[in-house]
Amino acid sequence: MVTAQTNPLLGDFNTPHDAAPFDKIENEHFMPAFEEAIKQGKADVEKIKNNPETPTFENTIVALDEVGRLLTRTAGIFFNLMSSETNDELQSIAQEVSPMLTAFQNDISLDPVLFERIKAVYNKKDELDLTTEQETLLENNYIGFVRSGANLSDADKEKFREYSTELSKLSLDFGENVLKETNNYQLNITDESKLAGMPEGALEAAAGKAKAKDKEGWIFDISMPSYLPVMKYADNRELRKELYMAYNTKSFKGDEFDNQKNVKRIAELRLEMAKLLGYTNYADYVLERRMAMNADGVYGLLNDLYEASYKVAKEEKAEIEAYARKNGFEGDLMPWDWSYYSEKLKVEKFDLNDEMLKPYFELSSVVDGVFGLATELFGITFKENKDIPVYNDEVTAYEVFDADGTFLSVFYTDFHPRPGKRGGAWMNDFKGQWMDNGVDSRPHVTIVMNFTRPTSSKPALLTFSEVETLMHEFGHALHGMLAKSTYSSLSGTNVYRDFVELPSQIMENWAVEKDFLDRFAKHYETGEPIPAELVQKIVASQNYLAGYLSIRQLSFGYLDMQWHTLEKPFEGDVKAFEVSAWKKTQIFPEIDGVCMSTQFGHLFAGGYAAGYYGYKWAEVLDADAFSVFKEKGLFNKEVAASFRKNILEKGGTEHPMILYKRFRGQEPKVDALLKRSGLL
């Protein structure tokens, strides 16, 4: 029998701040914990349904927000490990657990008795004298149930249940296929002459990988710290092409890890669910609860930015082609040539490259700088606590305190690639924030990266892009750590998807500000501060390839919208569909065998379906919002306090445009972004 005594996931954690007891959790504990947590969650629901009293805001809406706390805690731990520290056993558990969780969620959202209670409260909302946050919670519950099928007939509810269960499993399959493809690839090179042009640090890291696998020479893979230096610096064009093809053909080879069927079926299931609910397509369904509001709003943004970007991108390509030819290149410039020649031209134009900057961006110093920025702006401080258990020795756990010493959050950092970690960078929480009987239950937040590892002779030195990535994810973390809501479902990053990137992207703006860089960017060997001329070069090069980078993001937005504005199931060729979807944004010839859709985890294994445009929308917001800091002072306490109070603390308690206007005093304009990008 599973008990709290035998399963660390089921009892009190008895750790600092009730942090997850990773040192005690074994894989075998998860399935019994999920089973028990679902059982308790169902009992919570039955208690609400069987309450003989008239439905009220407290006994129905608040009670529902508190359902399944044990399940939320268990899932938070499990799915974070699935991303950061996975293995075959965890993946097998996920395949079993995922349909169980979907069934549990469907049992709630499709329950007619529960919905009648919610509807009874909703119908008398004008008489209840609710706070703004309570109104939002009530509306979210009512609309959430409707959007999850509560008004469907019994037969259609059953279809909805089947579709959503299959969808959860396929999304899991999609992500696992991409991770396995990534982990399966390695290129062992023993001839040093093939590695001409490669930086010393990248070679040292590749030699370390080879040594760890008892191989001679150097091993390269398609994790970002290994892949990017090859694309930027390797003189050997065939080597660049080899890595490019390995990276861009993921899950598109017709083998066991192929995702083409998954892509089509996921798109079809989303469409069928949307149609059941009365929508023409999945985008209409999603965008109803976004700042963009509908597909026209999204296409309006994408098209406006396209008009400002495409001509610039073509000019940038022509410039790089001319540069390549001047340096002996013949034939067509291909995607595997782009980073190589654009990096060389960047060095020539600005006398700047990653290798010049990396010595000033030693990881622990950058972390100190980013923490220091949060202290300067918001008064918060970070203290490492080795008594908080971690899931891997590379993870560091901190306590975060407010200016008055009040505890705010547990904060974990996890910086380097491992075989069990998926690619990319992300923020998540192991536990959200909420109020319980007047007691503020604080969040446990994590940021996860795939940064270049330290080598035998050097500490971890970051590229400037990695510095920006760290600041981006830290911005998400602030959104979670500074949360100040009453109800868990409205707290922290539980906001509209096209608003969630504002707190992350605004933080990146400080990365090019000399007054900020001077505080921490010091040479890891000499301690010399970053020279003023290097900072000027960073600023001068900030808009290098702005047109190309904008068009690239827009291409993903167009591809996303094309998949999710389908009005009938797609039976054709995934690659041909993709080529058509983003055709007007492409500046390179089409390459046989490569496909973005089959590895596009944001769309098919994450939460960005019909929402990828949100990155560009958030750029509009962050450029507009940061202009206030530029005007009133980079470290202006009043502006920072307003941003904290109106954006970071508020979560999803009000409509994001209301929150934004409360901070900014007006709706955002695209002008600040175009000006910042040099596209105006």
**The tokens of 403 are what?**
């200016």
Judge contact between 483 and 651, C-beta under 8 A: yes
- The backbone torsions φ and ψ at residue 420, rounded to the nearest 5 degrees and listed phi first, read -90, 5
Cα separation values, 56 from 42, 48, 123, 135, Å: 20, 11, 11, 13
Report the largest interatomic distance among the alpha carbons of the chain, rounded to a whole angstrom.
83
In sequence order, what are the beta bridge partners of 399?
383, 410
For tokens 């920006």, what's the residue? 468
First to last CA, the chain: 67
Nearest to 581 by CA among 567, 564, 593: 564
Query: Active-site residue 528, yes or no?
Result: no
d(CA 220, CA 205): 9
b/e sequence 552-562, b meaning 16+ C-beta within 10 Å: bbbbbbbbbbb
Judge contact between 320 and 338, C-beta under 8 A: yes
For tokens 């706070």, what's the residue? 131
User: Which region, left, alpha or beta, applies to residue 17 given φ > 0 means left and ψ of -120 to 50 means alpha?
Assistant: left
- One DSSP character per residue, 170-227 reads HHHHHHHHHHHHHHH--EEE--GGGGTT--HHHHHHHHHHHHHTT-SSEEE-SSHHHH
Judge contact between 470 and 486, C-beta under 8 A: no
Given the residues 36, 473, 501, 619, the one annotated as active site: 473
Active site residues: 473
